């Protein structure tokens, strides 16, 4: 999964590189800057003293010292002054320059905090939007595992209209859990109605005896066979696998493999595994990610999921949120992941 959100303390992450939301002196401060300097130890400050500071929007590299991460990229976000002082471009430059530096350093994995969304006062939803936009753009042409660390839930905002619609959809699909008393009444009513049905339609005195032996299954064109088939013969009647259906759909939709796995937020290695093994069984989030990438209808998505042994149900929020997006024709996997993250669900990819 090239891009995902994570609720964590960035100083604990064992990735190749973490990004610091620093100030122009690079000599430490509060917030994530303070946390990184504390965790890395005093050697970090000594090293940064030799970097000569950093301009807003720029990025500079240091070792991680006592951190689990090998490297730290220090970038200086813009201070929010209402939005008319080039803040958005400067914030975008922080992500672009940090990613370029990580790539140049040969990093395979990078973790970002939400730059400028703390002491620098950048509106959090706008800071998140800039971060997601720049990271998605980068991932269209590069392979890197990128984590956007959300330190506190309050800094994660879904657009009000989306939050309202998804919540309403969840309420419609997921009946409120009945109270014990309510549940008992429901069970009682069920039994009563079943009894009433029996009274209305009494069981025939003599149910026609089912023939002792079942009639032989009627061979159909799709399954030539197997009247007295052995297990081996039946196993030879396997249907199209997940991998085969996925590759067929990619061709039918006119996608390239790269475009498909990028849109699915799946990395190249995993896609190669799926492509090369017709019997490959993906996880449910991965199977759904491809249904989203291919912009399948709800029925097609269900069919693809079934190939991997999964179904969509109304018994959990994850499935209902997926159904919400597909039935509304919204196949933006990054927005879907933001929503899943906001509802504490696993992410797609």
Q: And the tokens for 226? A: 């197997």
Contact 307, 242 (CB under 8 A): yes
Of 1, 2, 3, 10, which one interacts with ligand APR (CB under 6 A)? 10
Task: Examine residue 32 and tell whether it contacts ligand APR (CB under 6 A).
Answer: yes
> 16 an active-site residue?
no
Of 3, 5, 71, 120, which one interacts with ligand APR (CB under 6 A)? 120
Nearer to ligand APR, 8 or 238 (CB): 8
Task: Examine residue 98 and tell whether it contacts ligand APR (CB under 6 A).
Answer: no
If we measure between CA atoms, which residue out of 228, 242, 328 comes closest to residue 279?
242
Q: How far is the CB of 74 from ligand APR (least distance, A)?
A: 10
- Report helix, strand or coil for 27: coil
How far is it, in rounded angstroms, from Cα 229 to Cα 232? 8
Part of the chain binding ligand APR (CB under 6 A), chosen from 49-57, 117-125, 211-219, 267-275: 117-125
| Ramachandran region, residue 250 (left: φ > 0; alpha: ψ -120 to 50; beta: rest) | alpha
How many helices (H) and strands (E) the chain has is answered by: 14, 6
- State the catalytic residue, choosing from 14, 16, 33, 267: 33
Task: Examine residue 54 and tell whether it contacts ligand APR (CB under 6 A).
Answer: no
Site map 264..293 versus ligand APR, x via CB under 6 A: ------------------------------
Task: Examine residue 345 and tell whether it contacts ligand APR (CB under 6 A).
Answer: no
Q: How far is the CB of 291 from ligand APR (least distance, A)?
A: 32
Of 16, 33, 323, 338, which one interacts with ligand APR (CB under 6 A)? 33
Q: Residue count at the site for ligand APR (CB under 6 A)?
A: 26
Phi and psi dihedrals of 248, rounded to 5?
Answer: -65, -45
* 75 strand-pairing partners: 21, 59
Of 29, 53, 63, 123, which one interacts with ligand APR (CB under 6 A)? 29
Task: Examine residue 9 and tell whether it contacts ligand APR (CB under 6 A).
Answer: yes
Of 14, 30, 43, 86, which one interacts with ligand APR (CB under 6 A)? 30
Phi and psi dihedrals of 50, rounded to 5?
Answer: -90, 0
User: Residue 264, Cβ neighbours under 10 Å: how many?
Assistant: 25
DSSP one-letter code for 264: T
Strand positions, DSSP E, the chain: 3-6, 17-22, 59-63, 71-76, 109-112, 145-149
Task: Examine residue 23 and tell whether it contacts ligand APR (CB under 6 A).
Answer: yes
Q: And the tokens for 140? A: 């269209």
- Report helix, strand or coil for 56: strand
Task: Examine residue 118 and tell whether it contacts ligand APR (CB under 6 A).
Answer: yes
Part of the chain binding ligand APR (CB under 6 A), chosen from 6-14, 60-68, 164-172, 326-334: 6-14
Nearer to ligand APR, 9 or 239 (CB): 9
If we measure between CA atoms, which residue out of 132, 183, 182 comes closest to residue 157?
132
Task: Examine residue 119 and tell whether it contacts ligand APR (CB under 6 A).
Answer: yes
User: Residue 318, Cβ neighbours under 10 Å: how many?
Assistant: 20
Q: How far is the CB of 187 from ligand APR (least distance, A)?
A: 48
If we measure between CA atoms, which residue out of 257, 323, 341, 328 comes closest to residue 293?
257
Task: Examine residue 147 and tell whether it contacts ligand APR (CB under 6 A).
Answer: no
Site residues, ligand APR (CB under 6 A): 9-11, 21-23, 29-35, 77, 113-120, 149, 151-152, 155
Q: Which positions are annotated as active-site residues? A: 33
């Amino acid at each position: 999964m090239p891009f995902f959100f994570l609720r964590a303390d960035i100083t604990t992450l064992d990735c190749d590189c973490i990004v610091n939301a620093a100030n122009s002196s690079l000599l430490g401060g509060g917030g994530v800057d303070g946390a990184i300097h504390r965790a890395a130890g005093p050697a970090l400050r000594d090293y940064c003293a030799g970097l000569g500071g950093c301009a807003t929007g720029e990025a500079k590299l240091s070792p991680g010292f006592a951190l689990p991460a090998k490297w730290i990229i220090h970038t200086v976000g813009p201070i929010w002054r209402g939005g008319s002082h080039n803040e958005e471009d400067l914030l975008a430059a922080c992500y672009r320059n940090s990613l370029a530096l990580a790539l140049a350093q040969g990093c395979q994995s990078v973790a970002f905090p939400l730059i400028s969304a703390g002491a620098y006062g950048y509106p959090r939803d706008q800071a998140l939007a800039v971060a997601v936009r720049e990271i998605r753009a980068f991932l269209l042409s590069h392979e890197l595992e990128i984590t956007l660390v959300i330190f506190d839930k309050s800094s994660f905002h879904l657009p009000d209209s989306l939050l309202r619609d998804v919540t309403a959809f969840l309420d419609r699909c997921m009946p409120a859990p009945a109270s014990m008393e309510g549940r008992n009444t429901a069970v009682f009513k069920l039994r009563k109605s079943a009894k009433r049905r029996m009274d209305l339609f009494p069981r025939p005195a003599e149910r026609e005896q089912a023939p002792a032996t079942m009639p032989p299954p009627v061979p159909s064109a799709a399954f030539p066979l197997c009247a007295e088939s052995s297990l081996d013969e039946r196993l030879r009647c396997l249907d199209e696998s997940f991998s085969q259906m996925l590759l067929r759909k990619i061709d039918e939709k006119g996608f390239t493999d790269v475009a498909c796995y990028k849109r699915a937020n799946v990395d190249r290695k995993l896609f190669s595994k799926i492509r090369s093994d017709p019997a490959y069984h993906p996880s449910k989030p991965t199977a759904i990610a491809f249904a989203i990438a291919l912009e399948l209808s709800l029925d097609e998505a269900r069919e693809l999921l079934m190939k991997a042994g999964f179904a969509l149900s109304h018994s959990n929020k994850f499935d209902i949120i997926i159904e919400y997006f597909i039935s509304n024709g919204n196949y933006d996997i990054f927005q879907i992941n933001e929503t899943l993250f906001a509802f504490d669900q696993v992410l797609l990819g």
